[in-house]
Structure 1
Amino acid sequence: MTTEQVIWTMVSSLFSGLIGVGISTYYYRRHEAKKVKLETFRSLMANRFNLHSEGFTKAINEISIVFNDSQPVCKALSNYHASLGSNKADDTFIKLFKSIAKDLNLSMEEFNDSFFFRPFNAVTKVSENKGRCLEIFKTLMATRAATVSPEHVKALNMITIEFPESDYPEIINQWKVYFDHLHNYPETSVELQPVWSEKSSELLGNLLKAMGDSLGYSFDIVDIRKGIYAPKAHEVIELEQKLFRQGIVQLLYGERTLKTEVVSAPKAVEEVNT
């Protein structure tokens, strides 16, 4: 083999090696880019039941980078962004999904447009709702000895939101009775106030019993009403605060006077008197 042939063989081997490396690198990068695209699309599909979720927000903000080499996807993303808040948002939303699927060579012909707006999230919604219902119930149980506390009042006001009447008719019925009673406090009748308080305790117990039964707890009504730990100090503090507020209000409205007593006369007054 001549020197020329040796050189030609070496150049050919080197050149073919470089071509091989280039082709391998190209396909590797293309494969990795598609993996990233698939991951973004997977996250979009998985989180489309909640467009405000962290997962969906993160994925849709990745599109402009991940699909930067796809003009149809970038255009669909731009159209969707421009249509947010308008009646065209749903159409542009679907077109965005379809353009991404087309870029990834994924067939979506078997699915109609409603598929993108009706994800399989029924179990998730029920689970989330039950979790919130349990939190309300636990808060009411924990604060049933402090019915005027902000936590207790907030939980009461959340009942009609998280416990739909169609699913929890008994709870809503007990809530309506209790709610009506709370709005009929006998302010002008001191004699009826203890009776009202006792009735309040009874109706709250009935409400908590209905909530416990619906959520899978088997509490006895006596346990609900009597099984409460309330430190005496808390009761004293609450009573003192109530009396203090009432006294201040009566003083401001002129219904009560502020008692004063002179313990000793000032020295100047004593000298004048002498």
Structure 2
Amino acid sequence: MRADDLILFSQVIELGSFSKVAEKNNLTNSVVSKRIARLEQNAGTQLLYRTTRKLSLTEAGKILLNKAKSVTQATEEAKKAVSGLGQNISGHIKMSVPTISGELILADAVAEFCNQNPGLSVDMSLENRFVDLISGGYDVVIRTGYLEDSSLIARHIIDSQWVVCASPSYIAQNGKLHHPRELVKHNCLQYAYQTTGASEWQFKGADGNYLVKVSGGFSTNNATALRRSALGGHGIAYVPRCLVYDDFLNGDLIDIFPDLVGKKLGIYAVYPFTRQPPNKVKRLIEHIRQRYLALGHCF
């Protein structure tokens, strides 16, 4: 069945006559009649009872009408989603992003978006906490992890793989690790901003993921500080791969268990529940998404 025929069928029931539908779509009555006949042929059954006074649905027509309405609604939402994408946008956006994302990608991406749209201003806060969108007056936030508030809408951007890493000097001094459980004998630098706990590191096993409880003398809620500590040879870090990707390429840090780390978190753009967010927010989210995807190899 053709989507445009289903939409036309829905209009016939809504308006009650072929002539009104023909007028609405700048068609002739005969074209409308032929398209409804084609729909009935594809369905293999009669959909409408036609009399000189009115149109009524058959049992099959009633069932198909619900599907036709869904197609019509989806088409309208698709039109709205892309409407105005070529237009200039203006106004103000208040957003919150995690520190890592802000420092690595979003500061540049959002500033670039503002330059592309001179009538727009963005207030971007970098903070490692789940802000309240509604009470805080935020238009959109970038979150890593899981969405629990059903009053919010989340658009998935990319998944962030975590790694366990250390400097060559630390490995040379303390020995090469062969299994994640050996971490209990090492100084593990702990990232306090974690939903699963700074001392519980997740790994892949034959029977599913498992946790190794680690310990160490240094803990921080700042990812950059954690990276610097690892680069200084002071211990082993458990961080998002994007944070240390360049360090791996340069040989300044070593990916200790490249295929065994089980932690992978989704990165989402989250905004208050609405069928259609403002065009400025939609376009900012899409701009951010494209920047993330362009750097997908780092995640």
Q: TM-score, normalised by structure 1?
A: 0.24
Where relative contact order (Cα < 8 A, 6+ residues apart) is larger, the structure is 2
Q: TM-score, normalised by structure 2?
A: 0.22
Q: When you count strand as a share of all residues, which structure comes out higher? A: 2
Q: When you count helix as a share of all residues, which structure comes out higher? A: 1
